[in-house]
Chain A
Amino acid sequence: MSSTRKRMRALVALGAIGTTMTLVLAGCGARAGDDAAGAGSSAAASCVDTSGDTIKLGFLNSLTGGMAISEKTVSDVLHMAADEINADGGILDKKIEYVQEDGATDWPTFAEKTEKLLTQDCVAAIFGGWTSSSRKAVKPVVEKFNGLFFYPVQYEGLESSPNIYYTGATTNQQIIPAMDFLAAEGVKTLFLAGSDYVFPRTANAIIKLYAAKLGIKIVGEEYVPLDKDDWTSQVAKIAAAKPDFIFNTINGSSNVGFIKAYYDAGLTPAKTPIISVSIAEEEAPAMGHEVTGNYASWNYFQSLKTDTNPEFIKNWKAYPNSSGVTSDPMEAAYISLYLYKALVEAAGSFDVDAVNAAAKAKPITFDAPEGKVTLDGENHHISKPGHIGRINADNQFDIVWASDKFIEPDPYLEGYDWFPADIRKQLTDAAG
């Protein structure tokens, strides 16, 4: 993007960091180590205060800058979940008291705020994030201070950490179901269109391997920077390649430009349908009628008929400032807080090591709007149903395909023989 602007942003961020540093220096050391559980095995002594009738949790999302477009809903639904849990008695009879921080679409800020939340606010766990870059910024910090981070968005997999819980889909719960759907549809040729960053690049590497196994031919692959909307040149190439289907891993506002260019080029869902992994109920309205008839692969859709979904939708619609529609990432964020509650109650403690031990001891479940999800105590991901939806005129999704059972999370794709170990290592290192 704009180098001058970035430099300006850096100046602003520098100011913010300076202020934070001063605050940290001023506020540190005031309270430490009256942890009730007293696990003490962690490298840095936890300063979480569990003596009162409240428990502090940190919410960390970009509320300003480019990613605020997406992250605002995740932040809002976390607040709703906290209110619900508090109205229901809290966690271990303690009310949630949350500290909201703004990651400001700046990855060093995410790291900085994580450290602040853990060492100065002394929160028991942190919830939020959206981009893989934000998660990768938070990861070393929660690992260093032995904190907990709950990450709610589908991502490229190939990661696990004792200090992170992932409540969004990993690739075998979203990408692979989408490919299974395409194979079932008899697709022979596929074009890959993505934004240029780690998720689309990794996803497409996996797609190409699986496509070879399924006998689907990849007839083209195009990337555009995340902050560029104009897809006309690339869509001209897609139109010339005449694929049976387009696999879309574009993220953010660039998706709107892609759909407009697709429609303008005269491509239609009848002849050249798109399957997307980042267009949900939240994003579709900004694309108008031009996106109608195309497909998306998610675990949760607002249109899902489960026991808990109607209540979730009702509560969200009634929530102040709500966007009025529910979507997969926000549902995963909603799960994350309840999953934490279930973990803490199973552990009988807010201590990180006790929580991680409880995750391994017996399967932790939650009756989520997408169905009953089960936590994998080893890789910290959850089981999820695979769904393919087709966008209708109301910007809702008609479910056209569902996996026959909940898909166990396999972030490193170890259960797939077409995924060779050397490529796993190469992609894991590249994603580093």
Chain B
Amino acid sequence: MDGLIAPLLNGSAQGALLLLAALGLSLTFGQMGVINMAHGEFLMIGAFSAYLVQQVITASGLSIPVALPVAFVVAGLFGLLLEVTIIRWMYRRPLDTLLVTVGVGLILQQAALQIFPSQGVPVEKPRWLDGQLTILGYSWPMRQLFTILLATVCVAALSAWLKYTSFGRRIRATVHNRDLAETTGISTRGIDRLTFFVGSGLAGVAGVAASLIGGTNSQMGAQYIIPAFLVVAAGGIGQLKGTVIAAWAVGVALAFFAYWTTGSLAQVLAFILVIVFLQLRPQGLFTVRTRSLA
């Protein structure tokens, strides 16, 4: 039993982290069609925000709950800055945004390398995340449960926001038909900025979760960006539920492959699966009409 339960639980947590990294992309890439390669660096900004919060609030039990909204706002503001200064000029040129945001990502990495100790900084895990839950004989780290809960809360909040608030309705209207949305008086410029702020802010939240799992350093964002894009693509562009399912499936596949083979081979096998899936179903799990890409 242990042989199935450990990879299932750990894979779900791995999927949850992937989902957190991909959520923001499903907004900026999925809804707006912007290929933001600096998304991983926004994640890094979130992680460094958690470190900075811990310099002020030294009780680690309190600092992580505080760090989550702080990271959201800080990473969101960086995203907003990127949108206002660069992305807004390139909405009709997705390949150019790809090139430019790779450059922005490299600049952010180098800035972090200059500002913080080059080996990275420690982000202390709250004491209430110490310990394990015993589930069917497997001692499951509490931290894994935290990642899953955090991802669940973020998905619930985001979908409620998109569904029930006027902002959300305006975002959806803009995605479906920009010109018509404008004629009804929606400021699509404002909507673009807001979407980018929220999408980048979610990367910041993912960064806090990542800082509890791996190192917080200038290079940390790079390992999440491509898996996150693949997850969004496999889930179906512009579809939150597709992203959720794809992230979970990739996470669990990674964990089972890692259990049966090795960590290196698992990476290869899991992403071969994603690529084969995209070959068979290029539109992803679910589809929706958007103004681009789908």
Contact = CB atoms under 8 A, between A and B. Distances in A.
Interface of A: 1-5, 8, 12, 64, 66, 68-70, 72-73, 196, 222-225, 227-234, 236-237, 239-240, 253-257, 260-261, 264-266, 282-283, 285-290, 323
A286 B143 CA distance: 18
B225 interface: yes
A66 B222 contact: yes
Nearest to A227: B223
Interface in B93-148: 98-99, 102, 106, 110, 113, 117-125, 129-132, 138-139, 141-144
Contact of A196 (B129, B138, B226, B264): B264
A260 B263 contact: no
Contact of B225 (A5, A68, A222, A255): A5
10 contacts: A2-B225, A223-B263, A225-B264, A229-B215, A230-B213, A240-B2, A240-B6, A261-B141, A261-B213, A287-B122
Interface residues of B, number: 58
A72 B125 contact: no
B111 to A, nearest CB: 11
Interface stretch (B9-17, B72-80, B176-184, B195-203): B9-17
A260 B264 contact: no
A232 B212 contact: no
B263 A225 contact: yes
Contact of B267 (A228, A255, A282): A228
Interface in B224-282: 225-226, 229, 254-255, 258-259, 262-264, 266-267
Given A234-B258, A234-B263, A260 B218 contact: no
B110 A227 contact: no
A416 to B, nearest CB: 28
Nearest to A264: B141
A222 B122 contact: no
A64 B214 contact: no
Nearest to B131: A266
B222 A5 contact: yes
Contacts of B216: 256, 286
Contacts of B7: 233, 236
A375 B264 CA distance: 38
Q: Which secondary structure dominates chain A's binding surface?
A: helix
Contact of B223 (A1, A8, A232): A1
A286 B214 contact: no
A64 B139 contact: no
B120 A286 contact: yes
Contacts of B129: 264
Interface of B: 2, 6-7, 10-11, 13-14, 17, 37, 98-99, 102, 106, 110, 113, 117-125, 129-132, 138-139, 141-144, 210, 212-220, 222-223, 225-226, 229, 254-255, 258-259, 262-264, 266-267
Q: Which secondary structure dominates chain B's binding surface?
A: helix
Q: Closest 4 CB pairs between A and B?
A: A229-B214, A256-B215, A2-B226, A224-B263
B215 to A, nearest CB: 3
Contacts of A68: 113, 118, 218
A290 B255 CA distance: 24
A257 B210 CA distance: 9
Contacts of B266: 233
Contact of B122 (A64, A70, A236, A286): A286
B213 A5 contact: no
Given A68-B118, A222-B263, 5 more contacts: A8-B102, A232-B141, A232-B144, A233-B259, A265-B139
Given A240-B2, A257-B215, A264-B143, A69 B222 contact: no
Contacts of B98: 4, 8
A222 B132 CA distance: 22
A229 B220 contact: yes
Contact of B118 (A1, A73, A228): A73
B113 A69 contact: yes
Contact of B124 (A70, A232, A282, A288): A288
Contacts of A257: 213-215
A307 to B, nearest CB: 29
B112 to A, nearest CB: 10
B219 A5 contact: no
Contact of B10 (A233, A253, A254): A233
A205 B10 CA distance: 29
Contacts of B10: 232-233, 236
A253 B99 CA distance: 26
A153 to B, nearest CB: 15
A231 B125 CA distance: 16
B122 A288 contact: yes
Of A66, A233, A239, A260, chain B has the most CB atoms within 10 Å of the CB of A233
Nearest to B99: A8
A234 B255 CA distance: 9
B262 A223 contact: yes
A229 B227 CA distance: 14
A326 to B, nearest CB: 14
Contacts of B11: 233
B14 A4 contact: no
Contacts of A256: 120, 214-216
Nearest to A285: B122
Given A68-B113, A282-B119, A1 B214 contact: no
Of A2, A230, A255, chain B has the most CB atoms within 10 Å of the CB of A230
Contacts of B262: 196, 222-224
A264 B222 CA distance: 24
B37 A237 contact: no
Contact of B14 (A73, A232, A253, A285): A232
